[in-house]
Amino acid sequence: MSAVPRLPGGTRASGWDEPADLNKDPALIPDPATTEVPAELRKTIEEAMARYPERHSAAIPALHAAQELHGWCSPEAIEQVACVMRVTPAYLDSVASFYDMLEKQPVGRHSIYVCTNISCSLRGADALLAAVQEQAGEDPDFNVRAFECLGACDIAPMASVDGVYVGPLKDEDVPQLLDDARAGRPVLPEKQLATRLVADPNANSKEFPRHAPEEGKP
């Protein structure tokens, strides 16, 4: 059966580009007796379910945890989550296919999201993405992808490297960025968002008061 080409460009309507196997029986809730789930993962998922009034709410945290363990939301990972959560794999598949951060294909273990939305692209994000893609090359360790607005337009153009925001990035920064990520070092420490002060000159240009409430103030 050939794939049905519909809505290219990453629509969320899942299944449009994959034909269904009509000869396959629907997957049921996995049997705990025959499904092996790593103890650590089971514990994480059970704790997540306990946090909410309704266990389904734990779907995203549980899939996150399984993805961390397996590298992506593989059929095996989904099976394990389904077993602990007592839901069908199809239900979890519907969730996993909706969200950009849940991977439905095997990917490199270091994720590099380059923001290519408006503010970043106005400041050269498309060239930056091309540079990262070129220099990361075919390295299977990297999962380089263009991402929609990551909410850090003040450091545009920027990227999120394994969850750490860095910017503003120049093409020259790319080799070190990749080296740091590969070696598991803090990525471009002087360019990390965590250390950046608020741009507001009224808020950050003065001496901070001592840690005591001023008199007369509530």
165 binds another protein (CB under 8 A): yes
For tokens 């080799």, name the residue.
Answer: 175
Minimum separation from the CB atom of position 85 to another protein (A): 9
161 binds another protein (CB under 8 A): no
**Which residue intervals of 37-166 are DSSP H helices?**
39-50, 59-70, 75-85, 89-96, 118-122, 125-136
112 binds another protein (CB under 8 A): no
Residues 87 and 66 sit within 8 Å (Cβ to Cβ): no
Q: In whole angstroms, what is the distance from residue 77 CA to residue 192 CA? A: 32
Q: Which residues contact 82 (CB under 8 A, 6 or more apart)?
A: 29, 30, 88, 89, 91, 92
Nearer to another protein, 30 or 157 (CB): 157
Question: Pattern of binders to another protein over 55-94, x per CB under 8 A?
Answer: xxxxxxx-xx-----------------------------x
Nearer to another protein, 26 or 209 (CB): 209
- DSSP code of 177? H
Nearer to another protein, 36 or 57 (CB): 57
Minimum separation from the CB atom of position 72 to another protein (A): 13
170 binds another protein (CB under 8 A): no
Q: Identify the helix (H) or strand (E) that includes residue 165.
A: strand 164-166
117 binds another protein (CB under 8 A): yes
Q: In whole angstroms, what is the distance from residue 147 CA to residue 118 CA? A: 11
The alpha carbons of the chain give a radius of gyration, in whole angstroms, of 22
212 binds another protein (CB under 8 A): yes
Q: In whole angstroms, what is the distance from residue 135 CA to residue 211 CA? A: 48
Size of the site for another protein (CB under 8 A): 63
- The token duo for 94 is 């519907």
208 binds another protein (CB under 8 A): yes
Q: Which stretch in 22-30, 96-104, 130-138, 172-180 sits in contact with another protein by CB under 8 A?
A: 96-104
101 binds another protein (CB under 8 A): yes
Minimum separation from the CB atom of position 67 to another protein (A): 9
CA-closest candidate to residue 1, choices 29, 20, 14: 20
User: Interface residues with another protein (CB under 8 A)?
Assistant: 7, 9-13, 51-61, 63-64, 94-95, 98-102, 113, 117-119, 121-123, 147-154, 156, 160, 163-165, 193-194, 197-204, 208-209, 211-213, 217-218
